[in-house]
């Protein structure tokens, strides 16, 4: 019996066993649950957003939820109609003994002809070779998503180079796709992630397999500006479980850039699917603001210094009260608000 089929039957038998050992068997149906949260509802530019959640089965009543080892896809969209920010596929456990309907076999930096190449100059095209396979005996529609990060952990590009139907047991020969490296790119050790999904997660899609990643180097014409890999990790995940509770089993950290970030409401869509039929989805939002931008010109500069200074000291009802200058929202404009402007000077954003 194929390993995949054996594991599916094994999982189903475990669920049946758990149901059979409750006094409410006839009234309980297992439900797949996917939780999704952020650690705050509002973030300033330069702050780190922690996205986390859990995947588990629940059987209703007072029965203990059952954590699951599988994968969760997270799609994070920019505000308004600015499109995709990132899409990542994260594990909720070790994923040992798992098999996948569709699987990414290889992701390699290369030249235009597909020959391995690890270094690309900013302002030029980088190329990546990807090989993926349909392990199933039925066709699957597949979207491949690339997400690229600079050496400091900042995402700088996300797009879908592939949308196609993959025939039963088909393995691609190795597709090569170009990615433009911005002329202002941060030089150093960069990273690319590739995910295979059935459709956009926002359109009820789900992940087929764990993401694949590769590193490459972005170089500059001047060695003096090559930064190298940063110790800051802006996009990581880890699994955490405890013996008697459902704890966070996936998480993703994203640091909002200090300059050029979109402000507004970001939307996160999450999805996971088990045994080809049990799917759970969730969605949430968070807000990004530009703290210290008192006059609303999307830049924190000397003008904002002057506005907060003019409002010091004041409280609601004072002749010089300016609610936009009350940056810590304590109904008092004082040196604390002035310090916030000073800390954020030089930051700018876009709508």
Assess contact for 269 and 281: CB atoms under 8 A.
yes
**CA-closest candidate to residue 294, choices 228, 219, 347, 235:** 347
**CA-closest candidate to residue 74, choices 112, 40, 23, 37:** 37
The pLDDT value given to residue 23: 45
Report how far residue 251's alpha carbon sits from residue 248's, in angstroms, rounded to the nearest whole number.
Answer: 7
DSSP 183-242: TTPPPEEEEEEEEEESS-GGGT--B-S--EEEEEEEE-SSGGG-----S--SS-------
> 3-state DSSP call for residue 155?
strand
Residue 345 lies in a domain: yes
The pLDDT value given to residue 274: 82
Which of 289, 315, 334 delimits the end of a domain?
289
Report how far residue 79's alpha carbon sits from residue 285's, in angstroms, rounded to the nearest whole number.
Answer: 10
The pLDDT value given to residue 62: 62
- List the structure tokens of 220: 């500059």
> 3-state DSSP call for residue 99?
coil
Residue 296 lies in a domain: no
List average pLDDT for each run of 10 residues in the chain, which is 351 residues long.
48 50 53 94 96 87 78 96 96 82 97 96 97 97 98 94 97 96 95 98 96 96 42 35 52 94 97 84 98 97 96 97 97 97 96 94
- List the structure tokens of 32: 């797949």
Looking at residue 334, which CATH number applies to its domain? 1.10.1330
Does residue 124 sit in the same domain as residue 194? Answer: yes
Does residue 256 sit in the same domain as residue 342? Answer: no
Distances from the Cα of 316 to the Cα of 11, 129, 308, 323, 325, angstroms = 61, 60, 14, 8, 11
Residue that has been written with the tokens 């150093």 in this structure = 188
Looking at residue 282, which CATH number applies to its domain? 2.60.40.3880
> 3-state DSSP call for residue 318?
coil
The pLDDT value given to residue 240: 37
Does residue 38 sit in the same domain as residue 147? Answer: yes
The pLDDT value given to residue 30: 77
The pLDDT value given to residue 61: 62
> 3-state DSSP call for residue 35?
coil
Bridge-based pairing of strands 48-53 and 84-91 is unpaired
**CA-closest candidate to residue 333, choices 307, 317, 315:** 315
Does residue 219 sit in the same domain as residue 276? Answer: yes
The pLDDT value given to residue 63: 67
324: containing domain: 302-350
> 3-state DSSP call for residue 85?
strand
Report how far residue 246's alpha carbon sits from residue 112's, in angstroms, rounded to the nearest whole number.
Answer: 47
Residue 152 lies in a domain: yes
The pLDDT value given to residue 66: 83
Residue 297 lies in a domain: no
């Amino acid at each position: 019996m194929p390993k995949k089929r054996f594991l599916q039957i094994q999982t189903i038998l475990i669920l049946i066993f758990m149901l059979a050992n409750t006094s409410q068997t006839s009234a309980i149906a297992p439900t797949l649950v996917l939780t999704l949260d952020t650690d705050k509802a509002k973030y300033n530019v330069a702050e780190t957003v922690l996205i986390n959640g859990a995947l588990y089965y629940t059987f209703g009543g007072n029965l203990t939820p059952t954590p699951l080892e599988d994968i969760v896809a997270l799609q994070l969209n920019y505000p308004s109609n600015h499109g995709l920010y990132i899409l990542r596929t994260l594990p909720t456990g070790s994923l040992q003994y798992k098999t996948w309907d569709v699987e990414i076999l290889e992701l390699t930096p290369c030249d235009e002809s597909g020959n391995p190449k690890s270094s690309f100059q900013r302002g030029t095209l980088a190329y990546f070779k990807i090989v993926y396979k349909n392990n199933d005996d039925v066709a699957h529609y597949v979207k491949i998503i690339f997400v690229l990060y600079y050496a400091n952990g900042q995402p700088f590009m996300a797009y879908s180079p592939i949308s196609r139907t993959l025939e039963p047991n088909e393995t691609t020969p190795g597709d090569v796709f170009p990615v433009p490296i911005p002329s202002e790119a941060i030089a150093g050790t960069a990273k690319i992630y590739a995910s295979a999904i059935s459709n956009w997660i926002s359109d009820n899609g789900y992940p087929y397999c764990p993401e694949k990643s590769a590193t490459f180097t972005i170089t500059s014409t001047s060695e003096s500006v090559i930064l190298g890999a940063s110790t800051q990790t802006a996009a990581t995940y880890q699994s955490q479980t405890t013996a008697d509770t459902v704890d966070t089993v996936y998480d993703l950290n994203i640091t909002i850039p200090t300059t050029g970030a979109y402000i507004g409401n970001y939307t996160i869509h999450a999805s996971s699917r088990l045994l080809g039929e049990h799917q759970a989805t969730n969605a949430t939002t968070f807000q990004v603001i530009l703290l210290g931008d008192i006059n609303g010109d999307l830049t924190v500069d000397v003008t904002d210094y002057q506005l907060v200074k003019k409002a010091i000291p004041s409280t609601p009802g004072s002749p010089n009260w300016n609610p936009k200058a009350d940056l810590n929202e304590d109904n008092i404009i004082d040196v604390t608000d002035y310090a916030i402007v000073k800390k954020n000077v030089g930051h700018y954003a876009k709508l």
